[in-house]
Amino acid sequence: MNTTPSTIAADVIVIGFGKGGKTAASTLGHLGRRVVLIEQSPLMYGGTCPNVGCVPTKALVYHAHNRREEDSPGDWYRRSVTTVHQLTSSFRDINYDVLDAHDSLTILTGKGTFVDPHTVSVDVDGRHVTVTGDTILINTGSEPIIPDIKGIRDSAHVITSTDLIHRTDLPAHLVIIGGGYLGLELGAVYRTFGSEVTILEMTSQILRREDDDVARTAISIFENEGINIVTNANVLEIRDGGDGAVVTYESNGEQFSVEADAVLPATGRAPATKGLGLEAAGVSTTPRGAVVVDEHLRTSQRHIFALGDVNGGPQFTYVSLDDARIVLDQLIGEGKRSTADRHSVPRTLFISPPLATVGLTEREARAAGHRIKVGSQNVGEIFAMPRAYIVEETRGIMKFIIDLDTDLILGAALLSVDSQEMINVVSLAMRSGTTATQLQDSIYTHPSSTEAFNDVIGVIVRSDAQASSDAEAA
């Protein structure tokens, strides 16, 4: 028997169990605030990251590289997916139990819809529960964008990224539409598992934001792994036939087709605001559906905040966490934190080896008028970094962009083993005003990847000092 009352009065309503929402809910519940957390699916406790995003995809990266010689690709993939599902299930349980332990926090599983600016109706097991709250946090995340391609909604072989990582049969040929982060990560994973992979990218180059030398190095790694990347590819139609689908596309004025047993649209994600009834709440949205917020994440209604992907900001779990810090500072702190405080936020593309970046590229720094010094070394040439040789992963490149006048780091691109960890050191240095020379002269453990900074940055500083000396002598 359902014992949930038909009406609940709360201090705070949180719609969505994502990183930002659950962090705020837990903190406020711990302080004794009456919190109601609404999540529409029992499979999404904890949000996108532990269920269908960061955790399962990165776990698959790990498993893909650990197949034993005696394991067939199909069997190893099935075992890996099963193991990953067990992991995500345990994360869901932990997320639920931690929040459910708060006496002042109630979790409702069902679709929440605004009735008015302070009221949300929740469909819980066929019953409507009405929740009123003084403060409301929207944390509903984002959802895959399905591009407007002929036949894409009719094909039985078109799948979302969620569908893909839940299927237990390894695709023989995976066609990915879109060469952004998601497409490249999943393409690399499934190629390592043994799938034939074709990535169709509509622009002239993948990783267009990166400098050419960094992008070229990454592209060469993809090509050496056997991933087929087709640029300037405009997908025209997807048509089922036989045991798979035929994807027809145009590239550089010619028409081609490729057969696949799985087709993944990886063309981005849009804020998940449909069905929330934001009009009834008086909450404004952008043309793309994102909730409009100010620098303190307040919406057009001062008592309603939007956290994470739904507000149209960077779609990273760690940004959603920082959103929670900003909102909590508004609710129980000094009210000083804002999105304007953010700078030098790192990001990582989890290919093998990972590509981690922060700050400006060389191209962006020059365009902004900075006088810069640039240092770049291939990982295989950084002899102060024996870890790369120890783990037999010497592919990649490290690149630093440094202000010539201040010696401050303007940006970095690390395509190397352990770069997802090293980039956090660089980001912290940039935020704290640590100079390139200080980062170079720091003491790092050995053998580690971070000690590469002793070598890479040292080369930059020495070469510039020599150039200045030569100029003065002349």
Q: Which residues belong to the active site?
A: 446
Q: Is 182 annotated as a binding residue?
A: yes
The verdict on whether residue 58 carries a ligand-binding annotation is yes
Residue 195 known to bind ligand: no
The answer to the question of whether 112 is labelled as a binding residue is yes
Residue 268 in marked binding region: yes
210 marked as binding residue: no
Does 53 appear as a known binding residue? no
Q: Is 236 annotated as a binding residue?
A: no
HEC string for the chain: CCCCCCEEEEEEEEECCCHHHHHHHHHHHHCCCCEEEEECCHHHCCCHHHHHCHHHHHHHHHHHCCCCCCCCHHHHHHHHHHHHHHHHHHHHHHHHHHHHCCCCEEEEECEEEEEECCEEEEEECCEEEEEEEEEEEECCCEEECCCCCECCCCCCCECCHHHHHHCCCCCCEEEEECCCHHHHHHHHHHHHHCCEEEEECCCCCCCCCCCHHHHHHHHHHHHHCCCEEECCEEEEEEEEECCEEEEEEEECCEEEEEEECEEEECCCEEECCCCCCHHHHCCCECCCCCECCCCCCECCCCCEEECHHHHCCCCCHHHHHHHHHHHHHHHHCCCCCCHHHCCCCCEEECCCCCEEEEECCHHHHHHCCCCEEEEEEEHHHCCCCHHHHHCCCCCCEEEEEEECCCCEEEEEEEECCCHHHHHHHHHHHHHHCCEHHHHHHCCCCCCCCCCHHHHHHHHHHHHHHHHHHHHHHC
Residue 403 assigned ligand-binding role: no
**201 assigned ligand-binding residue:** yes
Known binding residue 143? Answer is: no
Find out whether 225 is annotated in a ligand binding site. no
Whether residue 123 is annotated as binding a ligand: the answer is: no
294 labelled as ligand-binding? no
> Residue 142 annotated as binding?
yes
185 is known to lie in a ligand binding site: yes
Annotated binding site for FAD: 58, 112, 140-142, 309
Annotated binding site for NAD(+): 178-185, 201, 268
Annotated binding site: 58, 112, 140-142, 178-185, 201, 268, 309
